[in-house]
Structure 1
Amino acid sequence: MTQLIALPTHNKNHILDWIITKDCDIDTIKNTQVLKRLVSDHHLILFELDAEKPPKKNNLVEPLESAYRKDHSTETALLRVFNDLLVVADLGKVSVLCLLDLSAAFDTLDHNIMLTRLEKSFGIKHTVLQWFQSYLKDREQTAVVDGVKSAGNVLKYGVPQGSVLGPVLFTIYTQPLARVLNYFGLTYHLYADDSQITVHVNQKTPAT
């Protein structure tokens, strides 16, 4: 049997044990539940997921992103894309729909780019930014085949699988895609690692 194990640099003796011990420095956020629970309990203030504080209030959330958001789902994403196609068809135009899927999406997240994005685009700085840095960096990955474990490899990309933070960070990481699509005047809708991009063209007048 082949296994792939992520080993944290802190508390290595217990693989994927995220619990803080009494003698743990709270400033060392690596692999603990602290940062994840801050996000889970408070819904990451940046995103203002509470119904009384719509995300559009602070313009930090891409409005055409349906993943990991309150009152959004794959169903609402499908309805939006389908409605856009019908509206354009009623105008007598033809639509070309391009469906993009990013392979191993969460594993492609570059830690340095992620931290820069948090600071430059979302205003996260100082201690809080250091929390994110501590959370993302210095993780090791080890392959185990038939009980034989390989040497650890420090991960420069990706977020912990199954974590609360993973989807939130990935959504932040991919936000520039929407700006690029807007710049070129393309119709689009996003759902995490799935992007629907539409080009609308006028039908050619039939030859007489």
Structure 2
Amino acid sequence: MEDVTVSGRITRHRSDARVTANAEKQTGETLEEPNTLQNQVKYSCRCQYGFREKKTTALTIMEATDEIINTLDKGKYAIGVFIDFRKAFDTINHPVLINKLQQYGIRGMALDWITNYLSKRQQFVKMVDVTSESMGIACGVPQGSVLGPALFNIYINDIFQVCKTLKMILIADDTNLFYAGNDLNEIINIINKELS
């Protein structure tokens, strides 16, 4: 895989600068063009339907339903485990994400820009005329941003490697696990072992 780079100048000093929605949108569009972030990172996890071109929640539901119906038609038992990771976007470890980006060939200015984009972020709460003190954000990717979903998918792209026995269907941070067999107790034991 070729390294991904973004042309332009990236400065490490951003003082009080904020990423505007327009600038982030343009950067996101640049990173989604052919031979850039979204297209260069080969998603090994074909089971991920969230934030992917030509993948929809309807396809997720259809695949899960087909999995269960086909199993029942064969006279077997099917068990589904449905997991929603709490605050999934808020808990992404930045050093781990940066390491994964490097493993996918993201280097140079593109990696510097993303690292800078994630670092030294602040948040505060404002209610009417009262504003809390700013607090640093040590982890997570910005929700509602153009880059957030792409970075999230890269972060969890290798989740399927943890569980080789169960069928996995993901829609963003919602994880659906399925297993089928003839012996219900054996299925339960296998699922419990995989989840431990």
TM-score, structure 1 normalization:
0.72
2:98 to 93, 115, 118: 115
Alpha-carbon spacing, 1:47–1:19, altered in 2? closer, same or farther (3 Å): closer
Match of 2:191 in 1: none
Q: CA deviation at 1:33?
A: 4.8
More strand by share: 1
DSSP 3-state at the match of 2:162? helix
Match of 1:98 in 2: 81
Deviations 1:80-115 (A, max 9, x none): 111111222233210110000112221111211111
Aligned residues of 1:171 and 1:192 also touching (Cα < 8 A): yes
Question: After superposition, where does 1:36-185 map in structure 2 within 5 Å?
Answer: 36-40=28-32, 42=33, 45-48=36-39, 59-120=42-103, 122-182=104-164, 185=165
RMSD value over aligned CA atoms? 2.5
Q: CA deviation at 1:203?
A: 3.8
Aligned residues of 1:62 and 1:178 also touching (Cα < 8 A): yes
TM-score, structure 2 normalization:
0.76
Unaligned runs of 5+ in 2: 1-13, 185-196
More helix by share: 2
Letter in 2 for 1:141: Q
Q: Percent identity?
A: 26
Deviations 1:121-169 (A, max 9, x none): x121222211110111111011223422222111111222211101111
Aligned residues of 1:99 and 1:195 also touching (Cα < 8 A): yes
Aligned residues of 2:84 and 2:175 also touching (Cα < 8 A): yes
Q: Distance in 2 between matches of 1:9 and 1:143?
A: 21
Letter in 2 for 1:127: M
